Chains A and B, each alone.
Chain A
Amino acid sequence: MRTVSAAETAPTSHPWAVHADSLRVKAGPHLAVDGLDLALGTGVHALLGPNGAGKSTLMRALATVVEPVGGTLTLLGVAVNGRADLRRVRRGLGYLPQQFGFYPRFTVREFVEYMAWLKEMPKSAVPAAVQRAVDRVGLSARADARMKTLSGGMLRRAGIAQAIVNDPELLLLDEPTVGLDPEQRLEFRELLRDLGVDSCVLVSTHLVEDVVAACTDVVLVNDGRLVHRGTTDSLIAAGGSGEAGDSPAERGYSALLRRHRAEAGR
């Protein structure tokens, strides 16, 4: 039995978890995201695009790691340009970067606990949340192994565990399936679908099959701009039999990219 605060019953003010308007983000001297408009709600969204399309930079901007240089970005109802209070947004955020570093001597449990502490979770809730996160990614057997003893796939799963430990409303996963074998990828897709029920998940991936299987819609970017936004069916519909690719989704992907490049060249 607990008391429910007034803030918890106030109406949620944001229709979109992510709302970007003409977003421009730099990666070093290069403008990696150039005028991107995006609105993401609850569900699993895939972020597709060739290398250098600005996917990782976009993820970092959404994770409030880098500040955009232009446009507006609103995360969970809070505008994050300029001198915004990022703490509130970051508490509802989960982020797994493409190359994520860790402290080798930490055990998985200690690492996830440390991240939970950094995310300012209430102390009493941390141990149960850590166990739950570790169970959900399937690392229960290795929860007390040191991170330097883990294989690549297990490390990635530990990274996913720290991203979900605080039950985030906005979850950003940059190439989460790297190093996972097919069975683990299947389990991960199940997890993604569960997470997509009540949070906004953005998954950046190279594997088009992951997209079709687990995601409700697709965001295709190239050269920092939005190429296509729609359901996976619309991706498949865009492709014809003459396109490059081994699956309908891949063919759709190639077709959209080709068209975008042709238009940009014009």
Chain B
Amino acid sequence: MRRKVDALDEAELVRRTATGDRRAFDELYRRTSPWLAVRLRRRCSDEDVVADVMQETYLAVWRSAGSFAGAATSGTAVGWLWTIAANRLVDAFRRRARQAQVSAVPLAETVAPAAEDEVMAGRVGQDLERALLALPPEMREVLRAMVLDGLTSRETAVLLNVPENTVRSRARRARIALREALS
């Protein structure tokens, strides 16, 4: 008996999508698009760009789901989804850089962490949290793009509209600062 789509995990939904199963694709969209939209909007303030990137991402998922399912990828379906979205975001920024319209990338301001947030351990330990918050915003931007979003230094340069060498030097100094803060 065919399991109902809402009981399947995302990887299985991608595999079903590869066979042309529209219901599986719709379920995948329903489950992952809110997360993707929120995350993208924290990197680009232009809603049209975010809409375009999301549409291109899911279209790419629809068309090439077979290659995710077939390849022995060492990531999750959601991680794969983010890789596609990040690439499309960089492409969109390239188009914009060329048209000399750069979308502002909003930065989270340094706000003192509320009590309940300190309870949250996560992968980012408390020391690291403090060290991170001590860094200047442009270094945090670079780290977010390279470490969290998985972009290369070249792609980060396009996203932040700074030269590649600047990105690299900021990443270097950030690493040094974090190492000092943690030791």
Q: What residues of chain A have their CB less than 8 Å away from a CB belonging to chain B?
A: 1-4, 8-12, 123-128, 130-132, 135-136, 140, 143, 167, 169, 190, 193-198
Nearest 9 A/B pairs, CB to CB: A127-B67, A131-B64, A9-B171, A9-B172, A197-B94, A194-B94, A124-B73, A193-B98, A2-B150
Q: Is B169 an interface residue (CB 8 A)?
A: yes
The minimal Cβ–Cβ distance linking A111 to chain B, given in whole angstroms, is 14
**In the complex, which of the residues A127, A128, A143 contacts B87, with contact meaning CB atoms closer than 8 Å?**
A128
Q: Is B111 an interface residue (CB 8 A)?
A: no
Chain A residues, CB < 8 A from B157 = 198
Chain B residues, CB < 8 A from A2 = 147, 150
How long is the Cα–Cα vector from A9 to B172 in the complex, in angstroms? 6
Could you give 27 example pairs across A and B, Cβ below 8 Å? A1-B148, A2-B150, A8-B152, A8-B168, A8-B171, A9-B168, A9-B169, A11-B168, A11-B169, A124-B71, A124-B73, A124-B74, A127-B70, A130-B64, A132-B88, A132-B91, A135-B60, A167-B154, A190-B95, A193-B98, A194-B98, A195-B94, A196-B98, A197-B94, A197-B158, A198-B94, A198-B157
Number of interface residues of B (CB under 8 A): 40
Q: What residues of chain B have their CB less than 8 Å away from a CB belonging to chain A?
A: 56, 60, 63-64, 67-68, 70-75, 80, 83-84, 87-88, 91, 94-95, 97-98, 123, 146-148, 150, 152-155, 157-158, 164-165, 168-169, 171-172, 175
* Chain A residue at minimum C-beta to C-beta distance from B75: A124
